[in-house]
Structure formats: structure tokens, C-alpha cells
């Protein structure tokens, strides 16, 4: 508990620096590229087009979902995934990437994944706004269910910021862990119902297991806001499961942080 309280204090004490570093990380991401900030749209757009073409045109399995075109169903799952993917990969490497903050400036280690997460979230919020405009343009304006979207964004931010603290600490001690996370990202993508509908599974235990996946919960949460029109409290079991995983992940992150925080500067030097 003492370590957890100290992490919170570090975030409050360095809150201004955290947001400044988040902005710097965002600028650094697109600096030097000829198209600059346009890549924030181009890269996701290309990914979305590839999956839409593969499922809609290629294997022709992209059917309308609850009266919504497959394209809208697809982007409502891919947009939150872009943030999650960044946090799984870049969040895991965040402390190594900004090692100079630890070795030269004595910046609180626990805050590094946080400002990286804020940076990625800002891009994702921009993409979410674009997605909403696409829904409106195609004749499907958001309903009242969209008011719960900030809750899913917050839950996603908390889960994957905590995970990135856990994974970035371990990746500092062993690059093999970072490589392991990278190798599992593709599996997580295909097992999380991002480009296929989890609700079509007929095996009850398997369907329950897949829905317990935090990635699936966030993706389904976004689709509940735009497609399925389901309130967050209408699925209490999956919500409690997500919160339980978040709680366990937080405990693990705090424990690992307590054990490794003194060793990290020496390892990174």
C-alpha cells in the first residue's frame, strides 16, 4: 500500500511534467516525416482498408451487423485496438526508450508509461472523433449510448497504462520479455474479436473465456456504444471480470515496481 501511495504521489507531484512529456512524445512520433501529422490518419486508414478489403471483398464474410454496414462495425473495433496495440508494444518499451529520464534526471520511473499512454491516447481520441464523423456521414448518427464512451476510454487507459508499467519494468530486466509481448500481440489481436464477432461462438465456456479478455471487453464496449446499443451495466459479469483483472494487474505492477525500482537505474546505465 505504501508503494501504491508513493506512485500516486509521484503522479500528482510531476503532473505538469507528465503532460509536457506526453506532448513531446506525440510531437516526436511524427517529427521529421514529410507528411507529419497526416500519418496519424494514413497509417490507421491503410490498416482499416486492408481488413475491410480482405473480409468484405476477398473472402466476402463481411456482413451487416444489426443493420449497420460491416465497415462501421469493423472500424468501431479497430479504433480502440490501435491504442491498445501501441500500449502493448511501445508501452512495454517505454522505460527503455526514456532511460535518460531515469539515469540522468532521476525522474519517477512509474510516471514514464503514463505520459507515453497519454500521448497515444490523444492520437486515439482524434481517431475516435474521425470515426464518429464517419458514422454521421454514412447516415448513422450516434445515439444516446455514446455518453458511456468516455467510461470505456478511461477503463482502457487505466488497464493498459498499468499493464505497460508492469511490462516495461520487466522488459528492462530482460529484453526477452519485450520480445515475448511483441510476439503475442498478433495472437491477442486475432483472439479478441476485433475483426470477427465473438457473439457468434456457440461454445458457452469458450465464449465466456474470450469475453473475459480485457481487449475484447474494450472492443465490445465501443461497439455497444455505436452498434449494439447496450448500457455498460447490462453486462455486470464482464464488467466485474474486467475490474478484477485491472485490480490484479495493479497489484502485480506495484509489487514488481517495489522490487525493481532501485535496480532499474543500474540496469539501464
Query: In which residue are the cell numbers 455498460 written?
Result: 232
Query: pLDDT tens digit string along 26-80?
Result: 777 766 554 555 666 777 777 777 776 776 665 555 566 777 888 888 889 999 9
Q: Is residue 127 a contact partner of residue 82, using CB atoms and an 8 Å limit?
A: yes
Give the range among 2-11, 41-50, 98-107, 257-266 with minimum mean pLDDT: 41-50
> So what's the pLDDT on residue 5?
87
The pLDDT of 185-196, averaged and rounded, is 88
Domain boundaries, the chain: 2-268
Is the model's pLDDT at 145 over the cut of 70? yes
pLDDT band at residue 152 using 50, 70 and 90 as cut-offs: very high
pTM above 0.85, yes or no: yes
Q: Is residue 96 a contact partner of residue 179, using CB atoms and an 8 Å limit?
A: no
DSSP bridge partners of 68: 65
Q: SS3 sequence, the chain?
A: CHHHHHHHHHHHHCHHHHHHHHHHHHHHHHCCCCCHHHHHHHHHHHHHHHHHHHHHHHCCCCCCECCECHHHHHHHHHHHHHHHHHHHHCCCCHHHHCHHHHHCCCCCHHHHHHHHHHHHHHHHHHHHHHHHHHHHHCCCCCCHHHHHHHHHHHHHHHHHHHHHHHHHHHHHHCHHHHHHHHHHHHHHHHHCCCCCCHHHCCCHHHHHHHHCCHHHHHHHHHHHHHHHCCCHHHCHHHHHHHHHHHHHHHHHHHHHHHHHCCCHHHHHC
Is the model's pLDDT at 151 over the cut of 80? yes
> So what's the pLDDT on residue 163?
94
Is the model's pLDDT at 93 over the cut of 80? yes
Amino acid at each position: 500500500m505504501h508503494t501504491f501511495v508513493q506512485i500516486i504521489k509521484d503522479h500528482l507531484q510531476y503532473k505538469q511534467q507528465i503532460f509536457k512529456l506526453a506532448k513531446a512524445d506525440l510531437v516526436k512520433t511524427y517529427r521529421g516525416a514529410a507528411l507529419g501529422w497526416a500519418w496519424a490518419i494514413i497509417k490507421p486508414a491503410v490498416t482499416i482498408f486492408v481488413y475491410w478489403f480482405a473480409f468484405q471483398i476477398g473472402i466476402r464474410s463481411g456482413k451487416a451487423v444489426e443493420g449497420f454496414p460491416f465497415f462501421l462495425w469493423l472500424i468501431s473495433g479497430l479504433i480502440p485496438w490501435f491504442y491498445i496495440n501501441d500500449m502493448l508494444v511501445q508501452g512495454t518499451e517505454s522505460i527503455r526508450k526514456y532511460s535518460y529520464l531515469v539515469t540522468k534526471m532521476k525522474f519517477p520511473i512509474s510516471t514514464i508509461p503514463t505520459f507515453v499512454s497519454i500521448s497515444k491516447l490523444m492520437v486515439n481520441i482524434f481517431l475516435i472523433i474521425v470515426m464518429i464523423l464517419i458514422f454521421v456521414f454514412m447516415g448513422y448518427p450516434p445515439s444516446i449510448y455514446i455518453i458511456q464512451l468516455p467510461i470505456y476510454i478511461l477503463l482502457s487507459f487505466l488497464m493498459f497504462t498499468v499493464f505497460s508499467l508492469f511490462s516495461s519494468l520487466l522488459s528492462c530486466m530482460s529484453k526477452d520479455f519485450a520480445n515475448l509481448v511483441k510476439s503475442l500481440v498478433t495472437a491477442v489481436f486475432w483472439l479478441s474479436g476485433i475483426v470477427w464477432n465473438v457473439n457468434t461462438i456457440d461454445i458457452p465456456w469458450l465464449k465466456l473465456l474470450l469475453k473475459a479478455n480485457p481487449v475484447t471487453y474494450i472492443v465490445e464496449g465501443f461497439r455497444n456504444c455505436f452498434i449494439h446499443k447496450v448500457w455498460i451495466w447490462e453486462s455486470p459479469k464482464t464488467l466485474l471480470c474486467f475490474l478484477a483483472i485491472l485490480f490484479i494487474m495493479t497489484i502485480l505492477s506495484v509489487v514488481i515496481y517495489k522490487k525493481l525500482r532501485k535496480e532499474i537505474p543500474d540496469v539501464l546505465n
